[in-house]
Structure 1
Amino acid sequence: MEDGKNEPGAADFYYGECEMRRHDKDGTSLAERALLTAYWALSGYGLRALRALGWLLGALTVTIAALMLWGLPAETPKPQFIGHWAGPDLALVDDAATPVNPSGPWRERLSTERFEKSLRVVINSVVFRSSGQDLTTTGTYIEMASRLTEPVLLGLAVLAVRSRVKR
């Protein structure tokens, strides 16, 4: 099918082959079946663009909400530089406050300002890989998890769109 430039037909055969391997309990190991199930659920074996984009949008939404609620500090730490005169050299020490976890009702944490900061952190994490935003400890772990999962989902979406456009 691929040699005859029948890419839609080849994609159908590929989908069917993966489905048979996913449902084969005798010839396929449990780990391989689990991996195929995840691949099917996330992107339809790299052939379903909307499924992959839906998962990416859902992951972005969850990450933004988590950063708004627990990841951004209550107040933005302001760096303070303290200078020490030691002979001919001047030493500057950054004495910035440690980010403080937000507290209070959720309504106060779900503001447009915090949404904008969270959106910036998430987009930078997925696409550019550096946010530059001071985050709480929880926020740092949320950002690390998003740096691991969301680029994978973005890659699956690109793969699915590429295969769709190629046909």
Structure 2
Amino acid sequence: MIDWNAFDWPTFGSLMQALSGGIVGGLAVLGAYKIGLRQVSIIEAQTEILAKQADIEAKRLTHELYERRYKTYDTALRYVVECVESTDQRPRPEIRDQFIRALGESQFLHDANVTKELIEIRTIVEATYAIRRDMWSYDQGNDAYPEGYAEKERELRSWLRERVRTLPALFSDLVVT
């Protein structure tokens, strides 16, 4: 049992002075511990936010790549369709220029097979228009076409029509999974 009457103020003061260092130190440790826990939760939240931002950025880049690849496909399709449907000597310059740009970009956006096929399409289109130009010249002079010209022109146009049908398969990297 504590004898409260024997307890004097100077003893109490020295006891409090001795304990105050421990109490203040203990409070400082407790405060630091609480701040540390708060910092850990902040770091975890920031890590989660960064992970979500990285995921969003990856999806944005994937979408951008898809859009650029689709633009190449769309340009190639418009080029071939115009060549099949047109009776002019050449495709419209803006369509041709877009196709040539898409052909150059395809080297970086698609596998080598796509670029190879686009080069073949351009070669066939140029051959088709060369024959059409020659046939037009013969028509203007009221001369008969050389033998095989009409058949060759039909064969090339048929190849281009078939390419319109099979072009989506060439761009297999546009399949969304």
The interval holding the TM-score normalised by the smaller chain is under 0.3
Structure 2 length-normalised TM = 0.26
Greater relative contact order structure (CA < 8 Å, 6+ sep): 1
Q: Which has the larger radius of gyration?
A: 2
More strand by share: 1
More helix by share: 2
